[in-house]
């Protein structure tokens, strides 16, 4: 209940309350993340360069998903400006970062989305669009699939289940059928098919407070069920653990499942995942141009630990050797086979 009240006040107050809950001592025997690293004789997390520049272009979205760590929705107004978008492209041009990863909200709703794609494509960068699928069949956006294909954009699309009821329970009534329609359009353009170069990745999030199943086995099930039921194909499946942030944290607290979920994450800590977590090779940029280690830290207002904290004034040497800012939410990325925006970190 506490988070619901804070959300109506301000984004900064909301982030602060989340940090206090996650880092607090309400669960006396729950370790902090760095203590678990030390226990397993692992060093503090350090960056290992920057391979992905992930930009969150805003929180406006045509959906309101229960697991959303961004608290995105139709009523949000945060949106990256052209000036900040130009600073992103300038950094991409100056630096040897091979991948631009665009997320939101529904990133396609940002007025500068297509400009960002065109500019990054001209720089011959790999471009990822983290798409909710339904935006591709929304009025005013139906030409987007062709635009994405023309610019060789990889589509990473959320589809939390191949069963309609499970999907709609997490993402809203009617979302599944609109998602299937969007997937068929992408397939018709060549997405998900061999030798087209148009990659289509699906993303699975658990519906409730549980860890994802084995990624390879679930991918086989998705591939079989989507092909037999809807004649849909895709390249790969990513499984991502729901982190106790924003809307999902709020739901855990209201259902009185926060403590049990946190214990599950801590008890499932896998030290073998630590060298492979995404924050070691990712730099995250918010809609205002501020820098973070990952999109999760961004939502908690945990900036990078360096003096350079903005995209338009970054110190490359400092950022590529930085210490990662951590918290108890980091157990979500290191539980089981690990979790990242690229899916499970261990096979």
In this model, does residue 169 exceed pLDDT 80? Answer: no
Mean pLDDT on 102-128: 97
Helix intervals (H) in the chain: 2-7, 11-23, 33-39, 82-94, 113-122, 144-150, 164-171, 175-188, 215-230, 246-254, 258-267, 295-299, 316-319
In this model, does residue 80 exceed pLDDT 50? Answer: yes
In this model, does residue 11 exceed pLDDT 90? Answer: no
Cα dihedral: 238, 142, 109, 241 (round 10): -10
Lowest mean pLDDT among 108-117, 167-176, 313-322: 167-176
Confidence of residue 175 (pLDDT cuts 50, 70, 90): confident
Mean pLDDT on 76-83: 95
**Gap between the Cα atoms of 296 and 328, Å rounded:** 11
The SS3 assignment for 285 reads: strand
Q: β-pairing, 291-292 with 282-285?
A: antiparallel
Q: Which of 251, 248, 221, 252 is nearest to 234 (CA)?
A: 221
Tens-digit pLDDT profile for residues 151-167: 999 999 999 878 777 77
Domain residue extents for the chain: 2-332
**Gap between the Cα atoms of 319 and 304, Å rounded:** 8
Confidence of residue 260 (pLDDT cuts 50, 70, 90): very high
| Residue 198 Rama label (left phi>0; alpha psi -120 to 50; beta) | beta
**Gap between the Cα atoms of 143 and 234, Å rounded:** 20
Mean pLDDT on 174-198: 95
Which residue did the predictor score with more confidence, 254 or 187?
Answer: 187
In this model, does residue 282 exceed pLDDT 80? Answer: yes
Q: Say what the pLDDT of residue 1 is.
A: 47
- Taking residue 273's Cβ as centre, other Cβ atoms within 10 Å add up to 20
Confidence of residue 100 (pLDDT cuts 50, 70, 90): very high
**Gap between the Cα atoms of 114 and 107, Å rounded:** 10
Lowest mean pLDDT among 29-38, 66-75, 321-330: 66-75
Confidence of residue 72 (pLDDT cuts 50, 70, 90): confident
Instruction: Name the DSSP letter for residue 26.
Output: S
Q: Say what the pLDDT of residue 12 is.
A: 76
Q: Rounded to an integer, what is the distance from CA 317 to the centroid of its chain?
A: 26
Q: β-pairing, 99-103 with 291-292?
A: unpaired
Tens-digit pLDDT profile for residues 287-310: 999 999 999 999 999 999 999 999
How far is CA 266 from each of CA 237, 262, 334, rounded to the nearest angstrom?
25, 6, 9
Q: Which of 61, 56, 71 is nearest to 18 (CA)?
A: 71
Taking the alpha carbons of 315, 321, 322, 324 in that order, is the dihedral positive or negative?
Answer: positive
In this model, does residue 267 exceed pLDDT 60? Answer: yes
Taking the alpha carbons of 281, 12, 333, 72 in that order, is the dihedral positive or negative?
Answer: negative
Question: Which CATH architecture does the domain made up of 2-332 adopt?
Answer: Alpha-Beta Barrel (3.20)
Mean pLDDT on 85-104: 96
Which residue did the predictor score with more confidence, 200 or 206?
Answer: 200
In this model, does residue 2 exceed pLDDT 70? Answer: no
Cα dihedral: 318, 314, 48, 242 (round 10): 130
Instruction: Name the DSSP letter for residue 306.
Output: S
- Taking residue 103's Cβ as centre, other Cβ atoms within 10 Å add up to 22
Confidence of residue 251 (pLDDT cuts 50, 70, 90): confident
Confidence of residue 25 (pLDDT cuts 50, 70, 90): low
| Residue 68 Rama label (left phi>0; alpha psi -120 to 50; beta) | beta
| Residue 240 Rama label (left phi>0; alpha psi -120 to 50; beta) | beta
Mean pLDDT on 256-269: 94
**Gap between the Cα atoms of 159 and 223, Å rounded:** 12
């Amino acid at each position: 209940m506490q988070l619901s009240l804070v959300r109506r006040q301000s984004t900064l107050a909301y982030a602060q309350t989340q940090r206090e809950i996650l880092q607090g001592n309400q669960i006396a025997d729950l370790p902090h993340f760095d203590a678990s690293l030390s226990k397993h004789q692992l060093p503090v997390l350090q960056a290992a360069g920057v391979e992905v520049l992930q930009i969150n272009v805003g929180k406006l979205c045509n959906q309101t998903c229960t697991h959303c760590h961004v608290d995105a929705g139709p009523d949000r107004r945060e949106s990256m400006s052209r000036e900040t978008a130009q600073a992103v492209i300038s950094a991409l041009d100056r630096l040897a970062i091979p991948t631009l990863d665009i997320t939101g909200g529904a990133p396609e709703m940002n007025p500068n989305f297509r400009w960002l794609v065109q500019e990054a494509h001209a720089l011959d960068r790999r471009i990822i669009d983290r798409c909710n699928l339904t935006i591709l069949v929304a009025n005013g956006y139906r030409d987007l699939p062709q635009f994405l294909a023309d610019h060789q954009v990889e589509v990473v699309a959320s589809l939390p289940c191949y069963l309609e009821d499970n999907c709609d329970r997490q993402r809203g009534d009617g979302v599944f059928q609109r998602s299937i329609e969007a997937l068929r359009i992408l397939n018709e353009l060549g997405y998900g098919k061999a030798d087209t170069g148009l990659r289509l990745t699906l993303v699975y999030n658990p519906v409730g407070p549980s860890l994802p199943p084995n990624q390879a086995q679930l991918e086989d099930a998705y591939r079989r069920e989507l092909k037999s039921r809807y004649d849909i194909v895709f390249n790969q499946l990513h499984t991502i653990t729901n982190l106790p942030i924003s809307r999902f944290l709020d739901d855990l607290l209201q259902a009185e499942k926060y403590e049990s979920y946190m214990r599950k994450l801590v008890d499932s800590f896998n030290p073998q995942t630590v060298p492979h977590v995404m924050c070691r090779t990712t730099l995250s940029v918010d809609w205002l141009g501020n820098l973070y280690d990952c999109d999760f830290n961004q939502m908690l207002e945990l900036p990078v630990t360096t003096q350079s904290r903005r995209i338009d004034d970054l110190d490359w040497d400092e950022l590529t050797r930085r210490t990662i800012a951590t918290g108890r939410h980091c157990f979500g990325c290191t539980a089981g086979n690990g979790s990242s925006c690229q899916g499970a970190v261990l096979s």
